[in-house]
Chains A and B, each alone.
Chain A
Amino acid sequence: MYPEAAQLKDRERDLHRFQLRVGIAALAVLAAFAVLLARFVYLQVVQHEQYAARAEDNRISIVPLPPNRGLILDRNGVVLARNYSAYTLEIATSRLRDLDRTLAELAEMIDIQPRDRSRLKRLMAEARSSDSLPIRTRLTDEEVARFAANRYRFPGVEIKARLFRQYPFGDTASHVLGYIGRISQRDQEKLEEAGVAANYRGSDFIGKAGVEASYENDLHGTTGFEQVEIDAGGRAVRALSRTPAQPGNDVTLSIDIRLQRVAEHAFDRRRGALVAIEPATGSVLAFVSSPGFDPNLFVDGIDPANWAELNNSLDKPLNNRAIAGVYPPGSTFKPFMALAALELGKRTPRSTIHDPGYFEFGGRRFRDSKPGGHGTVDLMKSIVVSSDTFYYMLANDMGIDAIAAFMKLFGFGARTGIDLDGESTGVLPSPEWKMKRFRTPEQQKWYAGETISIGIGQGYNAYTPAQLALAVATLANNGVMMRPRLVEHVDNERAGTRRLIEPRVVRKIALKEENVEFVKRAMAGVIREGTGRRAFQGAPYTSGGKTGTAQVIAIKQNEKYDERKVDERHRDHSLFIVFAPVENPRIALAVLVENGGFGARAAAPIARTVLDYHLLGKLPEALAPASTEPEDEEEASD
């Protein structure tokens, strides 16, 4: 064979070999494309619906439209809680890689204080995970503009126009209004339990205390929804449909903010409480727990420094003393004891006792606050001069069961039903109560000696100032107890409808008219010539009152209480109850000044100031007429 032919043959063999490989390559290509085709069929036919749904989910987002919170107004229409719009810088912490770095970069454009940072940390610990949290609130226009120009650098950080709650009167009526705060994990759980979580999807805030909390359902409103098409960055491209939000209802209080200011001013930041009620309706006219706090601090999340200050203050400004604090009523208990004695026939207006300055029982001496005693004392005098001995004896004669049964009718030891959360029940002492309260049989036993000090409002007696006020109001209203209420009516601005919170009779206590009249007269005597005389000197209206001084620490037998020697916080509480005018009471109130000493000295003058304003329109000198304006405006005009 010629080499050329061999070469040719080789070439031909190579060509065939090559063409075989081309064929194999073609098959491989077809196989690979078949795999792709199979994948396409799987995605676009078999799984199509699932992916179509996911694309739709991607595309459509339901954006909640949070409603405007309702206003809170005083009985005259003065706005006590309102909303204002402000720009906030918000951060979706879950979308950030490095929070500290982002904050450092933001701080170059926007004033971010260490306070803001620590508040953010606090919010992060409490907030619902889905929330975006504010770093800064109330941005200036300049800051807004600066951030807007740099927004692309900060994914997950946004400027939002938000409505903020504002309490124009600052700490005035703080324990009535309460405050709103960010919805915490616990709030969220409660909302879910109540089945209203959906209505809070766009909301950041919820009422935490006061009327803000107890009328949350009215104030919050109904969240609207908007279906929007969003892009991958979560930005809304266009709206598809929209259900507008229904703003919350406006809540009008029975409180007169001017009276409230007068009352709070009279406390001058001393610790204590005052509850003033219109006897015929149960409307609460003034409601003080002093000291108060500035609810504005809570609005966009309280910063840790302020929180610590409020929480650690010995004055406990966050405690609502008027409904949650319990105190022995001291001598303010006596008019009710006197009424019980008359009703139960244990005493008559004419029966007298001899008061040697003490009452001896079971070898123990119960001392009167007046050394040497008041001499011959009848029922009238027992109230006017506040004889302890008289009531030691009376309590002993009546027995604990009769006392407890009667006092229960006046609401002692039971929640008043006022429209606020967090009310204490207090303690109306009785053998049954002791059985429940204590564990060992030794402790559970009721001793007859314990009944004695119950008669002068000491011992186990412990009531809230609100209970005391309700009891006075019930007495002033001739035994008809009206449920105390802070809210007069709730208005739906949009629908133009009003829901009245009607006065509600809790109970009508069956009392003899002459007995009630007698006690009222005795209380008027307290003001005219008794322990309340000095505080009410020259008052052009009639009133009936009773001073009270409640022991904070037990004084040992044979030891004399000396105010100067006692630590300030162990001094007696000062109490005063009063209603006016006597003939047709328009107001009944109870005042308590913690560690204020004698009732006549600390508590009674506060009551006088409040009555003077309510009945006469007389303002204390320090409160110029202009100062009924909101505080912030006051500052602005300075």
Chain B
Amino acid sequence: MDLSMRQVRRLGASALEGLDATLLAITLLLTALGLVALYSASHDAPARMSGQLANLAVAFAAMWAVSRVPPELLMRAALPIYLVGFLLLVGVALYGETVNGARRWLHVGVTRFQPSEMMKLALPLMLAWFFARNEGALRLRDFAFGAVLVLVPVLLIARQPDLGTSVLVAAAGGYVLYFAGISWRVMAAVGLLGAASLVPLWGLLHEYQRKRVLTLLDPSQDPLGAGYHTIQSTIAVGSGGVFGKGWLQGTQAHLEFIPERHTDFIFAVYSEEFGLVGNCVLLLLYAMLIGRGLVIAAQAVSFFSRMMAGAVTLIFFTYAFVNMGMVSGILPVVGVPLPFVSYGGTALVTLFLAIGILMSLRRQRRLVPG
């Protein structure tokens, strides 16, 4: 062995170099908590644990790789990535594979691929690049164009239909617009216009579509159908109480009352077993993650970095809030996973890539003196 202890240490240090320690620690804690919950949710399918560990390895590698890419390179890649993503979405609309009534997948070689997932990061990247190009001279026209860049992929995704992803993508785009400095007045106007357009839109809907929307808003109207998820997950959360039923002791989860309990509804499993205390820990970790992200944004040196860091950070927030909101019954059920906790490779890779981007942006600040 000619590798001395020092060399190993130096190698390790260079590998970790540029990984924001705070961000990394929070992410790892969340991931660990996720594995604990997943273990309980996977009592019937132990293979899921090793599957998730493999996903994590891939996601971690992706994070590490992106964290060493300088933001300038990210900027340069923004337009091509966006265009590729857009073309893939069009491809899905034309040639996509339909699974469970939704056309979301594209066959690439041996594996299937969800282009909409890629838009979660490609869109904010594109917008941040676009606004950064016109830094200091942003006019309403630019924001309008930005809005078009947002709306086109969002509508394509919503048509698949994939409400969850379209919400996330739209939010990601919206955050960039917000951090780019779109005026409050325009935001208020758009908001009012949107609210006002709901009324005539409602009249255009078919009866069955209206019913579907109403069920989305009030699940108790369809307790055995669409409302079943929410009702059962609410019972799981509520029955957890302050301290929870204990790890692996959740009856709702273990007796299979909770559907999709290892993916979108894993929070119900966690909450039933760890109670209010566990929920507070989870909320705190997310708050710390978001806090750290916002600090990175606030301290970022370039306009691009600021927008990108802010938007990416708020994506984490959107994931966490929408997921916990729907599991606890205050938001309609849309397919949004709990970040770093839910089972699933695609979401993990996206999330860790986002962490990687934050780290890259953070590194840029340290590399640029002053």
Contacts and interface: CB of A to CB of B under 8 A. Distances in A.
B238 A48 contact: yes
Nearest to A51: B238
A26 B238 contact: no
The residue in A19, A33, A231, A233 that gathers the most chain B C-beta atoms within 10 A of its C-beta is A33
B298 interface: yes
B181 A58 contact: no
A30 B240 contact: no
Given A22-B298, A55-B235, A44 B242 contact: yes
Contact of B317 (A29, A37, A56): A29
A35 B310 CA distance: 22
Contacts of B251: 55-56, 58-59, 229
B170 interface: no
A54 B179 contact: no
A129 interface: no
A238 B275 CA distance: 26
A196 interface: no
B328 A58 contact: no
A632 interface: no
Given A35-B330, A36-B321, A44-B279, A18 B257 contact: no
Contacts of A35: 330
Contacts of B287: 29-30, 33
Interface bracket on A: 35 or more
A35 B283 CA distance: 11
A107 interface: no
Contacts of B329: 39, 43
Contacts of A32: 317, 321
A55 B241 CA distance: 12
Given A21-B178, A33-B287, A40 B252 contact: no
B239 A40 contact: no
Interface stretch (B1-9, B160-168, B289-297): B289-297
B238 A17 contact: no
A55 B252 CA distance: 7
A230 to B, nearest CB: 7
B12 interface: no
Nearest to B324: A36
B314 A25 contact: yes
Given A52-B241, A55-B239, A229 B255 contact: yes
Interface in A11-26: 11, 14, 17-19, 21-22, 25-26
A510 interface: no
Contact of B136 (A10, A41, A52, A59): A10
Contacts of A232: 232, 255-257
B235 A54 contact: yes
Interface bracket on B: 35 or more
A46 to B, nearest CB: 9
Contacts of A59: 251-252, 255
Contacts of A41: 276
A51 B255 CA distance: 16
B276 A25 contact: no
Contact of A14 (B136, B286, B294, B324): B136
B280 interface: yes
A609 B316 CA distance: 96
Contacts of B242: 44-45, 48
Interface in A199-222: none
B279 A237 contact: no
A43 B240 CA distance: 9
Interface in B163-216: 178-179, 181
A563 to B, nearest CB: 69
A40 B314 contact: no
B325 interface: yes
A54 B232 CA distance: 9
Interface in B237-282: 237-242, 251-252, 255-257, 271-272, 275-276, 279-280
A419 B114 CA distance: 76
B271 to A, nearest CB: 8
Contact of A48 (B179, B241, B286): B241
B303 interface: yes
A537 interface: no
A229 B255 CA distance: 8
Contacts of B297: 22
A68 B123 CA distance: 69
The residue in A41, A51, A229, A230 that gathers the most chain B C-beta atoms within 10 A of its C-beta is A51
Given A21-B181, A36-B321, A45-B242, A58 B235 contact: yes
A521 to B, nearest CB: 80
B186 to A, nearest CB: 14
B238 A37 contact: no
The residue in B237, B272, B287 that gathers the most chain A C-beta atoms within 10 A of its C-beta is B237
Nearest to A60: B251
A43 B256 contact: no
Contacts of B257: 58, 231-232
A232 B328 CA distance: 19
Contact of A43 (B136, B181, B237, B280): B237
A54 B240 CA distance: 12
A21 B179 contact: yes
A43 B276 CA distance: 9
A44 B275 contact: yes
A36 B255 contact: no
A51 B178 contact: no
B306 interface: yes
A47 interface: yes
A44 B330 contact: no
A120 to B, nearest CB: 23
B192 to A, nearest CB: 19
The residue in A7, A25, A232 that gathers the most chain B C-beta atoms within 10 A of its C-beta is A25
B318 to A, nearest CB: 10
Contacts of A47: 238
The residue in A44, A56, A230, A231 that gathers the most chain B C-beta atoms within 10 A of its C-beta is A44
B328 A230 contact: no
B122 interface: no
Contact of B235 (A17, A33, A36, A51): A51
A238 B298 CA distance: 56
A14 B241 contact: no
Nearest to B136: A10
Nearest to A10: B136
Contacts of A627: none
Contact of B255 (A39, A40, A231): A231
B303 A29 contact: no
B29 to A, nearest CB: 17
Given A26-B291, A237-B255, A39 B330 contact: yes
A83 interface: no
Nearest to B311: A25
Given A26-B291, A44-B276, A37 B283 contact: yes
A502 to B, nearest CB: 54
A16 B252 CA distance: 49
Interface in A229-247: 229-233, 237
Contacts of A237: 255
Interface of B: 136, 178-179, 181, 232, 234-242, 251-252, 255-257, 271-272, 275-276, 279-280, 283, 286-287, 290-291, 294, 297-298, 303, 306, 310, 314, 317, 321, 324-325, 328-330
Interface of A: 7, 10-11, 14, 17-19, 21-22, 25-26, 29-30, 32-33, 35-37, 39-41, 43-45, 47-48, 50-52, 54-56, 58-59, 229-233, 237
22 contacts: A18-B298, A21-B181, A22-B179, A22-B294, A29-B317, A30-B287, A35-B330, A36-B283, A37-B283, A39-B325, A40-B328, A44-B238, A44-B241, A48-B241, A48-B242, A52-B239, A55-B272, A58-B232, A59-B252, A59-B255, A231-B256, A231-B257
Given A40-B276, A44-B279, 9 more contacts: A19-B298, A25-B179, A32-B317, A36-B330, A39-B329, A43-B237, A51-B234, A54-B235, A58-B252
Ranked nearest first, the 5 interchain pairs of A and B with the lowest CB-CB distance are A51-B238, A55-B239, A43-B238, A231-B255, A232-B257
